[in-house]
Structure 1
């Protein structure tokens, strides 16, 4: 199981600082959508953020112009880019093809994506499918139950990531469940007073 730490709503300098501190402690370091929108891909390309031991994910949340956005995204040092599950199937297939050609990874963000739409993504066998509870949603989120239900409905999907206010207790249960391949944690790591300490604590409970 992998741990992904999401960094959002901070300056680029602060994001880089946290990313380098967490390099090698967590498996994947995400620069969130707010950072992509605040600074843009050209700035991130120029910054050339090179991680030694962790993968870098840029949360593009591509909705359209998939081929263009993913080609531009992979001109940076990103290992993984994201596309929205609610976008057109053609967009998802284009971004998947770009990822495969570049020998990189893609995460399909399934926020508000129904099961029929997910079934249409059967060609994206190597993609990571991200169960994502909206930050704006007033509904409660049971990550453990959501992962179990998803796996039952979509048994052929092998790479499952889950995000949505996950704490250490939930992370431990998800790890024990043995279904999800990646747990995504945001503020409880990147927003902690000591992100390194928080990340190590999460790694302990999932390993």
Structure 2
């Protein structure tokens, strides 16, 4: 399983320091939505320059203007860009088209997506589907969310999960067939970020 390090609510220099501490133990570096809102594509470009060989995800949370936003993020150096599952099917299709043209990956964020919409989204067979517990829930209900949605997503080949993941819950995620675990504060706010990242890495191998 891959670990995705989520960088949110930090400046670019702070993000680079976090990466310096933790990047060796993670597979994907996420330029979070708040960084993109605060600093634009400069935040993606800075991480790409510092880590040319890492997979970079831009969490743009695209809801409209799919082709434009995806072209912009990929152009800044992203390997994966996110679109909201709540977006129109037309928008998601536009995002997929750009991703395929550029031979990149795209992630569909399933935040607050209904079961009915989930079925419509299954047509995007090449997407990474991300179960996402809202940040405002501070990790409460993560395990229940996973249990409630795994059946709906049965047969989906690429799954990620985000939202308050801790060392207490990483084991469940690692054994539930997820390709990617998105981890933010449990690493970025740790007293020893390097150690925290290494502990998550070890836990995914258990």
Aligned residue number for residue 172 of structure 1: 171
Aligned 1:151-190 pairs, distance under 5 A? 151-177=150-176, 179-190=177-188
Aligned residue number for residue 30 of structure 1: 30
CA root-mean-square deviation: 1.9
Report the CA distance shift for 1:15/1:83 in structure 2 as closer, same or farther (over 3 A).
same
Aligned residue number for residue 49 of structure 1: 48
Alpha-carbon separation, structure 2, partners of 1:109 and 1:46: 23
User: TM-score, normalization: structure 1?
Assistant: 0.91
Aligned 1:1-207 pairs, distance under 5 A? 1-41=1-41, 43-44=42-43, 47=46, 49-50=48-49, 51-137=51-137, 140-143=140-143, 145-177=144-176, 179-207=177-205
Displaced runs of 4 or more, over 4 A = none
SS at match of 2:136: coil
Report the CA distance shift for 1:38/1:159 in structure 2 as closer, same or farther (over 3 A).
same
Structure 1 unaligned blocks of 5 or more: none
Deviations 1:131-172 (A, max 9, x none): 1111124893133x4334323122221111111111112001
- Aligned-pair distance for 1:176? 2.5
User: TM-score, normalization: structure 2?
Assistant: 0.91
Q: Are the counterparts in 1 of residues 139 and 163 from structure 2 also a CA contact under 8 Å?
A: no
Structure 2 unaligned blocks of 5 or more: none
Alpha-carbon separation, structure 1, partners of 2:47 and 2:137: 34
